[in-house]
Amino acid sequence: MGKYILRRLLWMIPIILAVAVIVFTLMTFCPGDPAQIISGSGTSEEDLAIIRESLGLNDPYLVRLGRFLSNTFIHFDLGTSWMTGKSINDSIAERLPRTFVLSIITLLLSMIIGIPLGIIAAVNQGGIGDNISMFVALLGISIPSFWLALLLILLFSVRLGWLPAMGIGGIKYYILPALAGCTGGIAGYARQTRSAMLDVIRSDYITTARSKGMPEFTVITKHALQNALIPIITITGTRFGAMLGGQMVLETIFSIPGMGTLIVTGVNSRDYPVVQAGAILIAIVFSLSMLVVDIFYAWADPRIKAQYERQGAKKRGGKAHA
Amino acid sequence: MPETMLENVKNEKIKKSSEFLRILKQLSYNKLAMFGLILFALELILCFSAPLIAPYHYNKLDVTAMNLAPNAQHWFGTDELGRDILSRILYGGRYSISMGVCAIAIAMMMGMLLGSVAGYFGGWVDNILMRFLDIVQSMPGMLLTIVISAVLGAGFVNTILALSVNAIPHQARMLRAQILKIRNSEYIEAAQSINCSRAEIIVSHLIPNAMSPMIVQATMGVANQILMASSLSFIGLGVQPPAPEWGAMLSGSRQYIRDYPYMVIFPGLAIAVTILALNLFGDGLRDALDPRLKR
């Protein structure tokens, strides 16, 4: 197991490096002269030249790439924003937790609603509960989250005045964004839970549990759900990663100063170092969350764990033969 | 005469069990899927005949009819500049739907190329291509699209390109997995033994037999891309106002939500209905293509 984790972690290094190279290259080819963007219009040509020289923009591409990579991965310095002149490390340290909190609340909300929906659907397969649950799931993937966000603002902030429409503060500032963002997750969890439960419910041990007179509720929650949980966990990693990257629209609507708004304002004001840093950081978090899920997956299911161990043994055996 | 024999064989009515017809038949039993298909087709017809049926031009300003609530002249009301919202939604559908369809078409072509090459040749070719897709997929789709559209700039074609990039890995992987399954089938061996070229085997034997999951993926993909395209326009990338793209319309009328909520409700409803229709159809298609998944 330890070996597997190590191998996966090592494999992350070239991937992240490649992402950094690609993002840096893309940003280099972005339209616009950085010196002009930094100083605004009406700067003399000499001043522009000075700015260019001080940023090292006159160096060849490879030199700049090397400098960027060593700054990012050796000195852990993501650079400074062209617009505000502030350190990007600081703004990320300030903003990342907010996006994290929002993503976790959204994820929890989609689990709390989605998994029971899936269970109801599986238990009443083909019945009315199934149809209603799957219809809710279908609505969940069909409603654009930013539109739902606007409708929620209209109802809960404008009409009823119960919840704040924008900004950050206590937990109540996160309720509307999380509600708007969880619909896709609800659909994902409901569908995944349904199919996983349907697989399990037909197993012999469920029949056994029923036949020994166990109440149906216990059979479902204790025996079926526990065994169906593993495929459900799998989608959590992808969901979480996608949320970190996908909060841009919701953060913009609710004016939450998180990673999403950082990147969106970065793109709109052509503040490329910020976009670059944000993209790389999110790629790292995304890869890490996928890894955590894979490890959890292997840890939770002895069959998969055994498979990894067998694979390792087979490889060693194969090498010995060769 | 050999030729007449061939002719005879051709004319003879052999009961072909066409996979395609079977799927169509299966699909036609699925009421929800047919509903989705009809809904989407209806929407396509309405949007693409917008110049004929729209009551007003999408950019016609009318200062005497600003911020009107839905009424007999303006079914969906008018916006802050007195433009008819119904007409704008009809015209806007042309942007939104064609962006989604084009992005997926490009992604499918690229995915077919990458996936079939990786799946058929295997070995180091496969390894390099798949690792490349790993890199692309290590960024969340929305983020990747935003970064690429920042580089390319806003606009219709650029947005399509940016959208298609994040859909390629999915398509490619799906085709590759399918090709790996059928690569060693007897009919491929037969094709090899009668000296078919590699390109011919890939194009006329492997791809047609491995396509079905890709088609399902594409249907759902169009829905997803329409959603992403409108999100992009909503945050100011993508198609720019005054073009009546649905996301751009939502973004423009966002500030009037307090007083004129219908300005926000109708464009969003248009997006939701389109995506619902495509997802209904996609679900049905998946059940028809792979009966094992059904219930």
Q: pLDDT digits over A153-196, tens only?
A: 888 887 787 777 777 777 778 888 888 888 888 988 998 888 88
pLDDT at A310 over 70: no
- Per CB-CB distance under 8 Å, the chain B contacts of A272 are 150
Q: pLDDT digits over B172-185, tens only?
A: 988 888 888 888 88
Distance CA B215, CA A199 (A): 26
- pLDDT reported for residue B15: 56
Torsion sign over Cα A182, A185, A191, A192? negative
User: Is the minimum CB–CB distance between B32 and chain A shorter than 8 Å?
Assistant: no
| pLDDT average, residue stretch A24-32 | 80
Q: pLDDT digits over A91-129, tens only?
A: 888 888 888 888 888 999 999 999 999 888 888 887 888
Distance CA A127, CA A121 (A): 8
- Per CB-CB distance under 8 Å, the chain B contacts of A18 are 135
Summary mean pLDDT of chain B? 82
Quick one: pLDDT band at residue B122, thresholds 50, 70, 90?
confident
Across the interface, whether the CB atoms of A139 and B276 are under 8 A apart is answered yes
**If you count residue pairs, one on A and one on B, with CB atoms under 8 Å apart, how many are there?**
121
Domains of chain B, each with CATH number or no CATH: 20-64+74-293 (1.10.3720.10)
Cα-Cα end-to-end distance for chain B: 53
Quick one: pLDDT band at residue A241, thresholds 50, 70, 90?
confident
Q: Which of A293-307, B62-76, B267-281 has the highest mean pLDDT?
A: B267-281
- For the range A66-74, what are the long-range contacts, defined as Cβ-Cβ under 8 Å and sequence gap of 24 or more? A68/A20, A68/A24, A68/A276, A69/A17, A69/A20, A69/A21, A69/A24, A72/A20, A72/A277, A72/A280, A73/A17, A73/A20
* Ramachandran angles phi, psi of A167, nearest 5°: 95, -175
- pLDDT reported for residue A312: 56
Among A176, A171, A144, residue whose Cα is nearest residue A157:
A176
Phi/psi region, residue B82 (left: phi>0; alpha: psi -120 to 50; beta: rest), is left
For A125-150, b/e burial (b = at least 16 CB within 10 A) is eeeebbeebbebbbebbbbbbbbbbb
Quick one: pLDDT band at residue B5, thresholds 50, 70, 90?
low
What pTM value is reported for the model? 0.83
Distance CA B261, CA B268 (A): 11
Distance CA A229, CA A232 (A): 5
Half-sphere exposure of A30 (CA within 13 A, CB side): 27
Domains of chain A, each with CATH number or no CATH: 2-73 (no CATH), 93-316 (1.10.3720.10)
Closest Cβ opposite residue B272 in set A16, A144, A287? A144
Q: pLDDT digits over B228-248, tens only?
A: 888 888 888 888 877 888 888
Residues sharing a CB contact under 8 Å with residue B125, sequence separation 6 or more, in sequence order? B117, B118
| pLDDT average, residue stretch B265-278 | 90
- pLDDT reported for residue A320: 40
Q: What is the nearest CA distance from B96 to chain A, expressed in angstroms?
A: 13
User: Is the minimum CB–CB distance between B10 and chain A shorter than 8 Å?
Assistant: no
User: Is the minimum CB–CB distance between B172 and chain A shorter than 8 Å?
Assistant: no
Q: Burial, B232: exposed, middle or buried (Cβ in 10 Å; 0-12, 13-18, 19+)?
A: buried
> Considering just the CA atoms, what is the radius of gyration of chain B in Å?
23
pLDDT at A268 over 60: yes
- pLDDT reported for residue B49: 83
pLDDT at B72 over 50: yes
Distance CA A185, CA A163 (A): 22
- pLDDT reported for residue B203: 85
Quick one: pLDDT band at residue A322, thresholds 50, 70, 90?
very low
- Per CB-CB distance under 8 Å, the chain A contacts of B150 are 30, 267, 272, 275
- pLDDT reported for residue A321: 42
Q: What is the nearest CA distance from A217 to chain B, expressed in angstroms?
A: 22
- Per CB-CB distance under 8 Å, the chain B contacts of A253 are 254
Closest Cβ opposite residue B140 in set A15, A125, A246? A246
Number of H helices, E strands in chain B: 14, 0
- pLDDT reported for residue B291: 56
- pLDDT reported for residue B295: 40
